A and B are shown apart, each in its own frame.
Chain A
Amino acid sequence: MRVLRAYVAVVDRCNWAIGRVVMFGLFALMGILLWSSISKTFFVPSLWTLEMAQFVMVAYFILGGPYAMQMGSNVRMDLIYGALSPRRKALMDVLTVGFLIFYLGVLLWGGIESTIYSFSFGGERSSSAWRPYLWPIKVTICIGVTLMLLQALSELAKDVLYLATGEPVRHEDEAPGSQALGEKDGGEKERGDAL
């Protein structure tokens, strides 16, 4: 249990911090697109803006993914799930989080293969006139998916902890009407923040 708690604490805090930084990547994206229109109107259009914006966008949602997961942003179909008690929800999640872990694992595997490829044959470059090397974005995706995987395991750990001890670890674990819990593990847990 202690190990699980420590794992949750470390992973959640780490992903929380990364997410808090990455969420401002929005302004990097905005800046690039703004520069793109300014340069087009007043000077010669830039070669790199659209592709750079695409890289930033991918980094934004892949690296920010774990924090979004902490916030409970990933929607669930809750026709049945929504009616379950917190305990049953936790039980259900323990049973089904394997789907998530498996999917992320396969993504990571593909990411690693593609990243290795991006380093071989003298370095894979994008098919654009700008021709950036592709390994930086592929490495970023691999890191992001790894963090997602760690976060998914942390979610599993939280459910196991809750089922084992009966103590709520997240806000959603509480029975309706019970006392709100502090930010025990650094993540923000308000359901109201979910969307």
Chain B
Amino acid sequence: MPYELIAILMFSTMMLMLFTGQRVFAAIGFVAVIAAILLWGERGGYDIGFSAIIKVMRWYPLLTLPMFVFMGYVLSESKIADDLYRMFHVWTGGMPGGLAMGTIGLMVLISAMNGLSVAGMAIGATIALPELLKRNYDKLMVTGVIQAGSSLGILVPPSVVLVLYAMIARQPVGQLWLAGAIPGLMMAALFIVYIAIRCRLNPKLGPTLSLEERDQITRAEKMRLLRAGLLPVGIFAVMMVPFVNGWTSLVESSAVGAIAAFLAAVAKRRMTWAVFETSVRQTLGITCMFMWIITAALAFGAVFDGLGAVRAIDDLFTDKLGLNPWVILILMQLSFILMGTFLDDTAMLVIVAPLYVPLVGALGFDLVWYGVLYTITCQIAYMTPPFGYNLFLMRAMAPPEIKLGDIYRSIIPFVFIMILALALVMIFPQIALWLPAQVYGL
């Protein structure tokens, strides 16, 4: 059987097994080891499966994962982000849809503290969402706001996804992080514009806070709440200043950030045993989920690689079809988005990225710029059914009145906004590349 056919067979079998609803890592891992055994004998099977654990062990940026997850849970469970939410609440509540716009602002600040989307998701779903629903905000819109807003965590620096991309594409992490900053803010601005337009057209979607409620808040109170903004700035500084100055490495910085968040909660007397226990337990749960999927996906990727699938696809695109580089790039992004609906970003990263990244480089595109495109695609993948982390997190955390169908429908407009952002960054690469060029003097 030709290798291309085996590759297609592997991929479709995996899809089919994912649809049975068995645990994702089991489906990916099973296909990987079965394929390895059929192709390379039973020794190949067990070697590939097990050595993926060793690969995971040696892939040092993964050490940041439990740190960022823990930090996210500490911030949400201890409710130290409450003040932050209230800050936006009183400052933006007067506008139609203002609370939803404020939530986007909240998500941007949280994104600057954390390298994943878990923190934003946890805070958004447990603090902002109930509050927004209580104020009669449209549930479809706000559910989408939180899912889309929290996905900024992987685009606004620091970003774990961009570090993993950096390792595969061998591009400078610093430049990639800076490249994500402006597109991240631009996307946040697009979300806000979208909310503003919808609420202008139909004010019932996002009612303003009542006059009485607004009058209750004194000017002094408003100013006092601004201080809440110091927390993310502080945590961002504690993590990033030593990192940028080379005093701490990336993984050390993530530990410092986690400890800083923990100490902030202790200082604010919010670190009860229950909060602590929940944060520690949930961190184990989420970390295990990620790590087992990565382990299985690395095994899958090794077999896929071993089939020469990478070369076959490169061949097909460049030699056989002889397509224009831009057409290839757009096709790749489309296929990425399509696969992103089914696969998670870690699986995409280890299975698909090694296939595409060299091709993008060979076509003469800037790989820092492509890192931003890649990350935006991951953001889309996070929210699109049937498979996405923000989707799962939302389902696990949302109040009962939010139904599965609501969650699915809520993301549609935001996916379109993200595709728009993707198109903008593609057409105007300077959106991504200007900031790193300024800082690094390129």
Contacts of A53 in B (CB 8 A): 63, 251
- Chain A interface (Cβ < 8 Å from any Cβ of B): 19, 22-24, 26, 29-30, 33-34, 36-37, 40-41, 50, 53-55, 57-58, 60-62, 64-65, 67-69, 71, 73-82, 84, 89, 92-93, 95-97, 99-100, 102-103, 106-107, 109-111, 113-114, 137, 141, 191-195
Give Cα A114–Cα B57 distance, bound, in whole angstroms. Answer: 15
Task: Please tell me if the beta carbons of B280 and A55 are within 8 angstroms of each other in the complex.
Answer: no
0 or 1 for each of B236-248: is its CB under 8 Å from A? (1 = yes): 0000001000011
* Chain A interface mostly: helix
The verdict on A106 contacting B57 (CB below 8 Å), with A29-B255, A191-B396 known, is: no
Contacts of A137 in B (CB 8 A): 57
Q: Select one of B247, B251, B291, B387 contacting A33, CB under 8 A.
A: B251
- Chain B interface (Cβ < 8 Å from any Cβ of A): 17-27, 29-30, 32-34, 37, 45-51, 53, 56-58, 60, 62-63, 66-67, 70, 242, 247-249, 251-252, 254-256, 258-259, 280-289, 291-293, 296, 342, 344, 385-387, 389, 392-393, 396-397, 404
The verdict on A99 contacting B288 (CB below 8 Å), with A30-B67, A37-B247, A78-B386 known, is: no
Task: Please tell me if the beta carbons of A80 and B46 are within 8 angstroms of each other in the complex.
Answer: no
Task: Please tell me if the beta carbons of B33 and A102 are within 8 angstroms of each other in the complex.
Answer: yes
Task: Please tell me if the beta carbons of A107 and B288 are within 8 angstroms of each other in the complex.
Answer: no
Q: How far is the CB of A92 from chain B (nearest CB, A)?
A: 6
* Chain B interface mostly: helix
Q: Select one of B22, B53, B283 contacting A58, CB under 8 A.
A: B53
Q: Select one of B17, B57, B282 contacting A55, CB under 8 A.
A: B57
Task: Please tell me if the beta carbons of A106 and B24 are within 8 angstroms of each other in the complex.
Answer: no
Contacts of A30 in B (CB 8 A): 67, 255, 258-259
Q: Select one of B20, B51, B282 contacting A110, CB under 8 A.
A: B51
The verdict on A68 contacting B397 (CB below 8 Å), with A54-B60, A99-B30 known, is: no
Task: Please tell me if the beta carbons of A99 and B284 are within 8 angstroms of each other in the complex.
Answer: no
Give Cα A193–Cα B242 distance, bound, in whole angstroms. Answer: 35
* Chain A: CB-nearest residue to B45: A106
Q: Select one of A22, A97, A100, A114 contacting B284, CB under 8 A.
A: A22
Task: Please tell me if the beta carbons of B57 and A57 are within 8 angstroms of each other in the complex.
Answer: yes
Contacts of A71 in B (CB 8 A): 281, 285
The verdict on A79 contacting B56 (CB below 8 Å), with A60-B284, A194-B396 known, is: no
Task: Please tell me if the beta carbons of A23 and B49 are within 8 angstroms of each other in the complex.
Answer: no
The verdict on A100 contacting B53 (CB below 8 Å), with A30-B255, A57-B66, A77-B342 known, is: no
